[in-house]
Amino acid sequence: MSAAGDAAAAADDTVVLEIADAAASPSSAPPPPPIPVSALAGPLPSPTVLAVRADRSRLIESSSYFRALLGGSFSESGRGYVRISCDLAAAVQVLRYLFEPPASFAISHHSFLPLLEGALFLSVESLLVDCKRWFRTVRSRNSSMVVPLDFIIEAWCFARRHGVTFVEDVCPGYLAQNFVQVISSRSFAHIPYDLLCSTIESPHLTVDSEKQLCEAILSWGSAIRQPCEESVSNSADNQLFLLSKVRVCLLPLGFAAGTKRNCFEFGNNAVCTILNLLKDSLQTLLYTVTDDNLDSYRIRLTEYSKKIVLSGCPQLTTQFLYISTLPADLDAAFKRTIVSDGLMTKAKTLSFGNVRIMDLSKCPNVHFDAATLWMKFAFPELRTFIASYCVLVRFEDLQYLLLRCPWINEIDLSIDTSVILSKHSIISSRSEARRDVNQNLSSYYMQSGLYGTPVNPVFSNISKLILEGRNDITDMNLWKISMLKRSLCYINIKHCTQLTDDGISALLLNCRKMHSMVLSYTSFGNHSIQALCSSDPSDSFPYHKDEHAHVMAFRLQELHLEGCGGITCAAMSQLVSNMNIVKSLCLRETSLGDGALCNFVGSSLECLDISETVVSMVSLAPLIRRNCNLSCLKTAGCRNLLFEQGEVQSMSGNKYGRFLQEITSTLYLEDVEMGWAFCPIRIDELIPSFSKVRRMTVGLGTTLPENILQALPEICPFLESLVLRFQVISDGVVRNLLQSSTKLQVLCLHYCLGSLTSFSFQTMAPALRILRLQWVTPWMTNDDMTILTRNCNLVELALSGCKLLDSSSQEIISSGWPNLTCLHLEECGQITVDGISSILHCKALEDVLLRHTGRGIGRTIITDAIRELPLLRKLALDLCDASEGGFDTPNYPEGKMMRSVRMSRCKKSAAARSCFGEASPSSSSSNSNSKAVQHRETIVLEWSSRQLTTTVVEERI
């Protein structure tokens, strides 16, 4: 620009700033024509050089940089055209900030860093203040993540390079309070070590559980061990330091054991710590209180906590709960008195008003009533309480919870369901009171007259109640539950076998607002159906043109009646004809037939289970055609699907249309159980309707050809669970499934045929967690088992018919899968011929079945297993495996988690083979091929909250 131009610009107090991007290469091109500041809001004419006409006085007034450049002693101070070199995007944002009206300019995470960089380079003090204010305002928002993790990481790195302390101070706290959202981000692996360390050390760190924090650190460590700038050893050291911040005494036992696979030292230390706490947690806490070092035993609770999950922590006691909410400034001697004497209610506890969900499942050593008092004071806004698999919880405890915490609206107290079904033949049964049930209330319990007080329905908000498996619930208890008629909408009493049809019908007559019920394997019958189908005289629902609208069945959204055998065909037809808006319907193993199903006119079904019924395509095909939102369809065991009026009809010629065609042209399934009538199938028929399938079971009556099985990963790209029964499979099918179905977590092969060899499982399957191989791998050896442990990280394993395994297999299993929760071994060689010491090293086991695995199991197996396996709930044994002829079955001492023990007995026959496949000495050579041994009965021990029931069942269960 000429001298005349400089003079003209100076005269009207404007200056032209030629801004060159410092990161761009120098250019000999002439500068672009100047543009006004107002044009900076639109597209820029050049990506590297920009000429902007701006008010000189405003620049000098707002920026120390421009004050020195334009108003000081520099040669540019008198010029109307000035060249500067800096970050172009930053300079543009600063100029917009200085010249745009404040109402039209807002800082966002997109503009923050350019503004901050420009404010620092151009010394705009007011902008620095605004940037600081905005960034701290973002930190104060606690509702959810409002800025991307990438932005926080970039801001942290920028602040570290330029020494911006307010950003460095805010970032860790922001990530800490939003840590649950942070760990779900794809960018989590890119968090710098220093930032992650500061985040974990922040007092605002908010996680649902200590497990969640530990998982995040392990995931981060695994990601950074990939090729990166840091050395592998340095990365490992960083991870170990972060893991030292984990409060291992609060980890679930199963998870802690699982970390031994990839981080043995940490995992082994965690398991040992948990087991030591189980021996004497009170003394450990007292020592800790004396040293005034309770932090490592405090559950992480902050003002931002919304969900607390302590599931699977048998080491936790009531003291852990209370010390987590005690004020930090309490005197150490007072804390010791509180912990040792159980005077928890004497100290004022902190309150956390954002907590909505509390999960104490599998925490048998937490006193339920004391936990109720704790929740009352600590979580005044709690809405959901879960305490599943806590067998010792009684109905009176539930009443006490409702009285103390009436604001709760969802409760889950489910336990394992009974192994004895109505179809089993009971030879004898007797019950005795549990000897470990203390009828006197704990010292933690505040004595009052409230314990036996009926629940006042006016103050109760319970809308959802789950009591599944609690077969000590009686009709009288159900009547008390019916007092919740103002709020109760969902109930699950599956396998509550003491309830009668009259008791259930009384509940239904009282609780007319209920729209969802899980009543499987109960005495639900004709009386209950009459209650569902009777008009409600006090119905407050708005007028509906349908004549059935004022009966309870009409408003049902979910109904599960699996195994309810007391329903007549006429009653079933009446019930089905009244359900118009139901979304989830399970009528498995009921009297359902075509006559009833044809009366169903609903079109809102999303889940339908009619397995093991006598329905045919006559009724099912039009139902499928009408319910296009059906995503779950289970028809396994429906042998009549191929029949019409008792005669086999041609699939293609049937007037109801091809059954498969109805499915493939109408539905997009996510969960499917296939049995009869699903063959033949072509790949092109399956691809559209099965493209969203996550869970698939294929059973008797359907034989999927190999090309379909090979194509399953392509047909069902989201497949997570696959169960194949009586199918023809091969090495190629199994290997392809494990390699290509990257989301596959469950694989079950039952009684399958084909040329399966050890080659099948010699491939990595990192997502696989549950593997059941029943009578399909007789060739399996210890070497095969070792390879399997390297290729997948299982939590459940079931093997049948693996006769080549021996006692060394135990060590392979326990060391390879230390986090196993379920282990079923049947007809597996001589695995237990030397006892089960290695199996007891799998401390996370909850379900163990050992049948015909070697005559070496000692008499004290039940008490040994309960003592060594803190989470054990189910144990199944075979008396043939007893080294001393039988097993001791004590009532005391008992495990607080134990639900059932099964012991099967074999029929004795001189001609029959022994239980281990060897011919009886008295049998002749002609009997060498005699049938396998049969079982004559099973002794079942079942514990409830009050008693031990010993039942002898004719069948093997």
Amino acid 630: pLDDT? 92
Specify which residues 746 forms β-bridges with: 721, 770
Please give the backbone phi and psi of residue 760, each rounded to the nearest 5 degrees, phi first.
Answer: -60, -40
Please give the backbone phi and psi of residue 809, each rounded to the nearest 5 degrees, phi first.
Answer: -65, -30
Residue 474's contacts (CB-CB under 8 Å, 6 or more residues apart) are 498, 499, 503
Please list the alpha-helical segments (H only) found in 856-957. 861-868
Residue 813's contacts (CB-CB under 8 Å, 6 or more residues apart) are 785, 789, 797, 820, 823, 838, 839, 842
Of residues 328 and 917, more confidently modeled: 328
- Alpha carbon distance, N-terminus to C-terminus of the chain: 97
Examine the pLDDT at 363 and tell me if it is beyond 70.
yes
Structure tokens at 603: 């079109």
pLDDT band for position 458 (cuts 50, 70, 90): low
What is the chain's mean pLDDT, rounded?
84
- Pick among 2.60.40.10, 3.30.710.10, 3.40.50.1220, 3.40.50.300: CATH of 13-140: 3.30.710.10
Contacts 24+ apart (CB under 8 A), 115-119: 115/90, 116/158, 116/164, 116/167, 117/87, 117/90, 117/158, 117/162, 118/86, 118/87, 118/90, 118/91, 118/93, 118/94, 119/94
SS (H, E, C) 640-679: HHHEECCEECCCCCCCCCCHHHHHHHHCCCCEEEECCCCC
Mean pLDDT in residue range 832-860: 95
CA dihedral of residues 737, 742, 745, 748 (deg, nearest 10): 0
Amino acid 921: pLDDT? 39
Please give the backbone phi and psi of residue 388, each rounded to the nearest 5 degrees, phi first.
Answer: -75, 155
Amino acid 660: pLDDT? 66
Please return the burial class of 545, using the count of CB atoms within 10 Å of its CB with bins 0-12, 13-18 and 19+: exposed
Of residues 748 and 297, more confidently modeled: 748
Give me the helix-helix angle, 232-243 and 210-224, nearest 10°: 170
pLDDT band for position 481 (cuts 50, 70, 90): very high
Amino acid 81: pLDDT? 81
CA 262 to chain CA mean position, Å: 22
Mean pLDDT in residue range 832-836: 94
- Residue pointed to by tokens 């997948």: 792
Mean pLDDT in residue range 527-556: 75
pTM of this structure? 0.88
> What single-letter amino acid sits at 498?
Q
CA dihedral of residues 666, 668, 671, 675 (deg, nearest 10): 40
CA dihedral of residues 795, 796, 799, 800 (deg, nearest 10): 170
Specify which residues 723 forms β-bridges with: 697, 748
Condensed to tens digits (0 to 9), the pLDDT of residues 172-194 reads 999 999 999 999 999 999 999 99
Amino acid 657: pLDDT? 43
Mean pLDDT in residue range 190-215: 95
Amino acid 647: pLDDT? 40
> What single-letter amino acid sits at 141?
R
Q: In angstroms, what CA-CA distances link 236 with 190, 214, 683, 790?
A: 16, 15, 47, 21
Mean pLDDT in residue range 20-33: 75
CB 667 within 8 Å of CB 628? yes
pLDDT band for position 700 (cuts 50, 70, 90): confident
Specify which residues 797 forms β-bridges with: 771, 823
- The C-alpha atoms of residue 248 and residue 765 are separated, in whole angstroms, by 29
Amino acid 662: pLDDT? 67
Condensed to tens digits (0 to 9), the pLDDT of residues 820-831 reads 999 999 999 999
Q: In angstroms, what CA-CA distances link 13 with 6, 33, 62, 714, 762?
A: 11, 19, 15, 70, 80
CB 826 within 8 Å of CB 803? no
Q: Which of 89-103, 521-535, 646-660, 772-786 has the lowest mean pLDDT?
A: 646-660
CA dihedral of residues 378, 380, 384, 385 (deg, nearest 10): 40
Examine the pLDDT at 655 and tell me if it is beyond 50.
no
Condensed to tens digits (0 to 9), the pLDDT of residues 223-277 reads 876 655 455 567 778 888 999 999 999 999 999 999 999 899 999 999 999 999 9
Structure tokens at 38: 């107002």
Of 867, 946, 940, residue with least CA distance to 420:
940
Condensed to tens digits (0 to 9), the pLDDT of residues 673-695 reads 988 877 656 666 667 788 899 99
Condensed to tens digits (0 to 9), the pLDDT of residues 545-578 reads 555 567 899 999 999 999 998 999 999 999 999 9
Amino acid 352: pLDDT? 94
**Percent of the chain, pLDDT > 90?**
55
Examine the pLDDT at 658 and tell me if it is beyond 90.
no
Amino acid 346: pLDDT? 63
Condensed to tens digits (0 to 9), the pLDDT of residues 428-448 reads 999 888 775 544 333 333 344
- Residue pointed to by tokens 């970032």: 171
Q: Which of 187-196, 517-526, 651-660 has the lowest mean pLDDT?
A: 651-660
Condensed to tens digits (0 to 9), the pLDDT of residues 270-285 reads 999 999 999 988 888 8
Amino acid 233: pLDDT? 63
- How is the chain split into domains, by residue range? 13-140, 141-206
Structure tokens at 351: 């309150």
